[in-house]
Amino acid sequence: MAPGGAATEHMTIRNDSGGTVDLSLQAVAQGAPNALWSDLRLGVWQRSSAAPDPLPPLLWWTTQENTLTTLAAGASVTYVIQLYLPTSAGNGDQAKTAVIDLRWHAQGR
């Protein structure tokens, strides 16, 4: 991804558990984080709401499980997931990689 570039995906999650659940997300690092992890921005927000401003660094998502919403039984929610590399990113990020797994967690109440 070049500075100023972004990749966006949508994900719909439906609660089929029969009870209310708290939904959270954590990005799990694959390999050792480097400077790119602080420069990349990752935003996750409900499609019906505005994007966070500013988007938090990718590294922030790896440090804790981040609470997103509470879903009632039978309810669903669609998230926008965007990875963005600001135009301020320098040449020092060239040839660096950032690989993550998104771990979604639904905890029953």
Residue 39's φ and ψ, nearest 5 degrees, are -80, -40
Boundaries of domain holding 48 = 6-108
Average pLDDT of the chain is 95
Mean pLDDT, rounded, for 72-77: 98
- 92 pLDDT exceeds 90? no
Residue 29 belongs to domain with CATH number: 2.60.40
Per-residue pLDDT tens over the stretch 23-68: 999 999 999 999 999 999 999 999 999 999 999 999 999 999 999 9
Q: Is residue 1 part of a domain?
A: no
pTM, two decimal places: 0.91
Q: Is residue 48 part of a domain?
A: yes
Structural domain count of the chain:
1
- Which residue shows structure tokens 């500013």? 54
For residue 79 the two structure tokens come to: 């998230």
pLDDT at position 106 is: 96
pLDDT at position 1 is: 87
